[in-house]
Amino acid sequence: MVGTSVETDVETRITDDDHQSLRLWLRLLACTNLIQNRIRQELQANFDTTLPRFDLMAQLDREPEGLKMGELSKRLMVTGGNVTGITDLLEQEGFVVREADPGDRRSFRVKLTKEGRRHFRKMAVQHEQWIQEVFEGLSGRQKDQLAGLLGALKGHAGEWSAS
């Protein structure tokens, strides 16, 4: 939702009486939603594609030998059915192919085609520009601080979720 102000997002649920951790959580969620919604809109407007399609192609771009469907599902944190649907559409458009896995005849590996890799890289350049624009309002020092703080939070959250 381009134009959505901070006043009308998930953060409006909080009050000064709410715990600081809840306020932080909702601030992170609000930032994530604002950025993700804008990226979704830009991908649709500029490339007639969706964020899930972009994300799947990004995973494949990092793995020239391709990935099994189960690995794609795990990396994208979505169900196998979602990955299958996206893969089907990308295959119809000539951006990916399914090939038999040489190590397991019962499964397939999904790979970007030459055209898929070319198309993805055009999107990736623009995507990186959009992400840079999001953070233009922060100094280099602020970005370093934020990265460090989020890294610490991620480490603790990982330990917490594993317990």
Cα 130 to Cα 43: distance, rounded to the nearest angstrom: 10
**Average pLDDT value over all residues in the chain:** 90
Average pLDDT estimate for 20-37: 91
Average pLDDT estimate for 66-87: 91
pLDDT of amino acid 11:
67
DSSP bridge partners of 147:
none
| CB of 96 closer than 8 Å to CB of 117 | no
Q: Which is more confident, 117 or 22?
A: 117
Going by C-beta distance under 8 Å and a sequence separation of 6 or more, which residues neighbour residue 116? 57, 60, 90, 94, 95, 96
Cα 98 to Cα 108: distance, rounded to the nearest angstrom: 6
pLDDT of amino acid 10:
65
Same domain, 39 and 89: no
Q: What is the number of structural domains in the chain?
A: 2
Same domain, 28 and 101: no
Of 15, 30, 48, the last residue of a domain is: 48
Same domain, 37 and 79: no
The amino acid sitting at 68 is K
Same domain, 53 and 115: yes
| CB of 54 closer than 8 Å to CB of 121 | no
pLDDT of amino acid 87:
96
Same domain, 109 and 130: yes
Average pLDDT estimate for 125-143: 97
Residue from 64, 39, 63, 36 nearest 49 by CA: 39
Residue from 68, 77, 53 nearest 161 by CA: 77
pLDDT of amino acid 5:
47
| CB of 80 closer than 8 Å to CB of 60 | no
Average pLDDT estimate for 118-135: 97
pLDDT of amino acid 103:
81
Same domain, 61 and 16: no
Res 12 pLDDT > 70: no
Domain CATH code at residue 129: 1.10.10.10
pLDDT of amino acid 15:
67
Find the domain containing 29 and state its range: 1-48
Same domain, 56 and 36: no
The model's confidence at residue 109, banded by pLDDT at 50, 70 and 90, is very high
The model's confidence at residue 6, banded by pLDDT at 50, 70 and 90, is very low
C-alpha neighbours within 13 Å on the C-beta side of residue 56: 30
